[in-house]
Structure 1
Amino acid sequence: MASGNAIRGSRVGAGPMGEAERGEAAPRLRISFWCANKHETQPSFATDAQVPETWDCPRCGLPAGQDQHNPPDAPRTEPYKTHLAYVRERRSDADGEAILAEALAKLRGEL
């Protein structure tokens, strides 16, 4: 025997939805974007919306532009640097030796 629930198999907000319930859809236009791997994506924009210069390719993640023959270059990623690499960029070996000598003198109580 079925329970007395009248809306069984349904959820709040479910039902036939048409233009009358949702309102009128905004006019749209589809713009093509191409990435460096020649992938094309066509997102849709409202006709009064500002279209961006670049769009991320959903297939490879590279930036895509509207010019099929001149897509934007892939962003250059810097390799991971350790803390020591950054220190070596800022200090020369002579500076490092001087700092080390000063720290050792301070530990020995000479300063």
Structure 2
Amino acid sequence: MPSGNLIRGTRIGTAPERRAERYQPVPCRAVTYWCRNDHHTEIRIAADAEVPEVWDCPRCGLPAGRDAQNPPGRARPEPYKTHLAYVKERRSAEEGEAILAEALADLRRRRTAAQ
């Protein structure tokens, strides 16, 4: 007796028949980018889409621009920041002291309640 999961008349991995009836391809255009290492990358983008000024080179990772004679330079990476550095950007020293005092008071209150 055959299983209920059997799909008759098709193979795994076959494409649907009559693909052209299911969708209409979007008009595309080719855009070329060059990086400092003389690598050129051609991407296809929709005709009505906005073209990005800079594209990352897939070979070396440098930024690539549309002008072959004057490609963009290396982007300066932002230095690594610790969690504390981000907190200090958002809070002043006085706010930090107030939050710390509040947290310590809450911790002391919980310790005395547990005993």
TM-score by length of 1: 0.58
Aligned-residue CA RMSD in angstroms? 2.9
* 1:40-94, Cα deviation, whole Å (9 max, x unpaired): 0011111111001001111111110000010000113467689xxx9xxxxxxxx
Equivalence for 1:16: 17
Shift of 1:8: 5.9
Give the structure with higher Rg (CA): 1
Shift of 1:16: 2.9
Where in structure 1 do 4 or more consecutive aligned residues deviate above 4 Å? 78-82
* 1:17-52, Cα deviation, whole Å (9 max, x unpaired): 52211x111110001100111110011111111001
Query: Map of 1:45-64 to 2, 5 A cutoff?
Result: 45-64=45-64
TM-score by length of 2: 0.56
Equivalence for 2:93: none
Residue ranges of structure 2 left out of the alignment (5+ in a row): 86-115
Residue ranges of structure 1 left out of the alignment (5+ in a row): 87-111
Structure 1 Cα separation of the partners of residues 26 and 81 of structure 2: 49
Calculate percent identity across the aligned residue pairs: 43
C-alpha change, 1:19 and 1:74, in structure 2 (3 Å) is same
Structure 1 Cα separation of the partners of residues 10 and 19 of structure 2: 22
